[in-house]
Structure 1
């Protein structure tokens, strides 16, 4: 559907279960997914942009679809810095938005994103990069649902030496957070965090949390039927009546 919209030079929003891609004249100009940190998180995590500055840009330029341009014109970020960060956020969210899904895909014509023009990307390039990333994760550590499941530490192997970025991910693997949750905390792209999780899993340092065994239902025993106590007086009257007829 994405490639068909690109061939039609469509403008609007492609809505899928795990994210949304925004197109202008058939090119992808932005992407969002709940599983991936947004551009605001990536810009503010490193301290380059304060949260107040981001909120100001949204307030002043969001309704005009010029948030990116506003940040550059005010000197909050450079044009090159915004492009690099925006491309990272776009490919990151597109990876999740284009993941296999049973839900319907819908396209809303004419819908624009408030970030405004930064740097469009060909739909073919987005699809190609998404497939490359999916294959990379499968090569590192193939596990059904590993992209969305919480991960938990298995225990540090004595003598294991880890890079600082891997240690940071390992410390947050608590059996509750997913790779996307960890990415939000660290202010990193979710796909990069997934790569770290897959590498740690391949090394035996993290794993999806084991679900507790479902207890078996209690056995059902046949209940013996109970009957009320007989009416002794009635039985005696019946006996006397029968004897009188003999």
Structure 2
């Protein structure tokens, strides 16, 4: 009598077996990977951050939902208590629906990069919470499913991923049809130095949706990655991004974030 083979793991589960396990045990803490960090509470994703994406602060302020001074006031008043999101709503600075929409956008955006393939083991810090506080938790399976959907969408638009992380150049080729305004704004930022992440930060826009526009521009022959591109396994590996240390002390985390923001001014 033969034993039936064990079922293969689903594509979503293969994104991060550790994340799948943490969801099953309803863990709370921070899952740190090469390109970002996922924050969990009771096994659900409550926030995500990646250096490859604009944070929720950029999306709120550059999108016009919140004045920059209002953001820093919320951080100063509620960051140490991990209730920045709640403070923004209770103080009337941001409508609850607008905050949820922006937070979900930032979460899915960062999770897409945080769950990128990597050869480096992930780490989990139990008990760590993000200073944004509770907004709307998202089940792990929903985050994984959306990440896979986004990967497939990018591949359908243009299968070459070299331009996702490299500096980008305009090709100078003639345009057969008018470039849509959204793509035109992205194209105007392509200067041979900026990467997709740089462009997203400059425009205050989702990094993933910036990639969508750039891949469409690449498919139209209007942009390309600058310099020679690697071949073989190195070409498909995502570059490692040095992440800031995740700490359970909200005061230390807050001071570091404030310091970095002030130095960037």
* Residue equivalent to 2:183: 166
Query: After TM superposition, where is structure 1 displaced by more than 4 Å over at least 4 residues in a row?
Result: none
Instruction: For residues 95-137 of structure 1, give each alpha carbon's deviation from its aligned partner in whole angstroms, at most 9, with x where no partner exists.
Output: 0000001112000000000000000000001011101101111
* Residue equivalent to 1:235: none
* Residue equivalent to 2:251: none
Instruction: Output aligned runs, 1:110-129, within 5 Å.
Output: 110-129=127-146
Q: Which ranges in structure 1 are unaligned for 5 or more consecutive residues?
A: 213-246
Task: Identify which of 111, 117, 120 aligns with 1:100.
Answer: 117
Task: Identify which of 30, 44, 58 aligns with 2:61.
Answer: 44
User: Between Structure 1 and Structure 2, whose CA radius of gyration is higher?
Assistant: 1
Q: Which ranges in structure 2 are unaligned for 5 or more consecutive residues?
A: 1-17, 230-265
Q: 1:144, 1:87 → 2: CA distance? A: 25
Q: How many residue pairs get matched?
A: 212
Q: What displacement does 1:146 show?
A: 3.0
Alpha-carbon spacing, 1:158–1:203, altered in 2? closer, same or farther (3 Å): closer
Three-state SS of the structure 1 residue aligned to 2:159 is coil
Q: 2:52, 2:68 → 1: CA distance? A: 20
Q: What displacement does 1:209 show?
A: 0.8
Does residue 177 of structure 1 match 2:226?
A: no
Instruction: For residues 31-53 of structure 1, give each alpha carbon's deviation from its aligned partner in whole angstroms, at most 9, with x where no partner exists.
Output: 00000000000000122211111
Task: Identify which of 138, 141, 149 aligns with 1:132.
Answer: 149
* RMSD (CA atoms): 1.2
Normalising by structure 1, report the TM-score.
Answer: 0.84
Alpha-carbon spacing, 1:158–1:192, altered in 2? closer, same or farther (3 Å): closer
Normalising by structure 2, report the TM-score.
Answer: 0.78
